[in-house]
Amino acid sequence: MSAVLKVTGMSHWFGGLKAVSNFNFEVPEGAIYGLIGPNGSGKTTTFNLITGIYKPTEGKIEFSGGDITGAKPYRIVRKGVARTFQNLRIFGSMSVLDNVRVARQYAPVSSFLASTLRLPSYKAEERARKAEAMNLLDVLHLSGRAKEQAKNLPYGELRRLEIARALATNPSLLLLDEPAAGMNPKEVQDLMALIARVRDEFKVTVFLIEHHMKFVMGLCERIKVLDFGETIAEGVPELVAKDPRVLEAYLGKKGGH
């Protein structure tokens, strides 16, 4: 399988702090790929670098064969990289439906003039936007909430809404930043099934960050483990789980310091 995302020699400094150090990895197309590591190991920074929020100090990011290093976030999204956030970033006062349809930016929007005059081309476009958004809400079991203000939704539903919104951008790569955070075991089970289903139904590659070990081990086909900005292990879950350096990073050194 070819790599949908290829990162070579990527480093990022915040002043004197090296948050990400010489990262090299490839996310295979169609995979569910996991990035794990203790707090402060550079996971979210990696996502921020891929999505263009930060520009890497060194290195190169390629997506679907094209160089996206340092491109503007909205352009990267339109190329097909979507993400969710660790601490939810919902458009609170907008309706659930609007949260999703506002994300359909890959298709051109009519000019201000055509929109103001409500020309037929604009109306057709709006119908398409709404139909697509409603379909996504159906898949994520949120269609009953379409008209509600997003901020009134319970936490678990907001997490699903963020996934729906990310999918509305028509991505080929979906980045999930701690999707299981704050969920109970039942919700985590459902989420695992949902992510697998989304991957198959929308033909996306999933790249996720997570603390929840059972979740990562049960869902991901390939895992990369970070500690203090460095890669300490990479491979299939069964091998990574046995790697002594991974155990050390998570459980501490044998015999103590």
Partner 1 sequence: MKIPRTPWLLVVAAGFWAAVQLLRLVGFNDYYLFIANLSLVYVILAVSLNLINGIIGQFSLGHMGFAAVGAYVSGSITTLIFKLSPNVAAHYPGFVLALVAGGVAAALVGVAIGFPTLRLKGDYLAIVTLGFGEIIRTVFNNIDAVGGPRGLLGIPKFSTFTVILAFALITVAVIRNIAESAHGRNMIAIRENELAADLVGIDTTGYKVKAFALGAFFAGIGGGLYAHLLQIAHPTQFGFIYSVQVLIMVYAGGVGSLTGSVLAAFALTILTQLLKSGLSSLKSLTGLPIGGDWYMVLYALLLILIMLYRTEGLMGTREAKLMVIPEEDDK
Binding site for partner 1 (CB under 8 A): 51, 53, 73-74, 77-78, 82-83, 85, 89-94, 98, 101-103, 105-106, 109-110, 112, 115-118, 122-123, 125-127, 129-130, 165-166, 168-169
Work out how close the CB of 98 gets to partner 1 at its nearest, in angstroms, rounded to a whole number: 6
Euclidean distance between CA atoms 234 and 49, whole angstroms = 20
Work out how close the CB of 240 gets to partner 1 at its nearest, in angstroms, rounded to a whole number: 29
Nearer to partner 1, 103 or 225 (CB): 103
Distances, alpha carbon 186 to alpha carbons 100, 183, 189, 192, in Å: 25, 8, 5, 10
Distances, alpha carbon 108 to alpha carbons 66, 77, 137, 168, 252, in Å: 22, 14, 22, 14, 52
DSSP string, 15-44: TTEEEEEEEEEEEETT-EEEEE-STTSSHH
Work out how close the CB of 74 gets to partner 1 at its nearest, in angstroms, rounded to a whole number: 5
Work out how close the CB of 86 gets to partner 1 at its nearest, in angstroms, rounded to a whole number: 12
Nearer to partner 1, 172 or 231 (CB): 172
Nearer to partner 1, 49 or 219 (CB): 49
CA angle 250, 34, 58 (to 5 degrees): 90
Nearer to partner 1, 48 or 69 (CB): 48
Work out how close the CB of 244 gets to partner 1 at its nearest, in angstroms, rounded to a whole number: 37
Q: Please choose, from the candidates 106, 101, 102, 83, the residue with its C-alpha nearest in 3D space to the C-alpha of residue 205.
A: 83
* Distance from chain centroid for Cα 239: 25
Nearer to partner 1, 43 or 165 (CB): 165
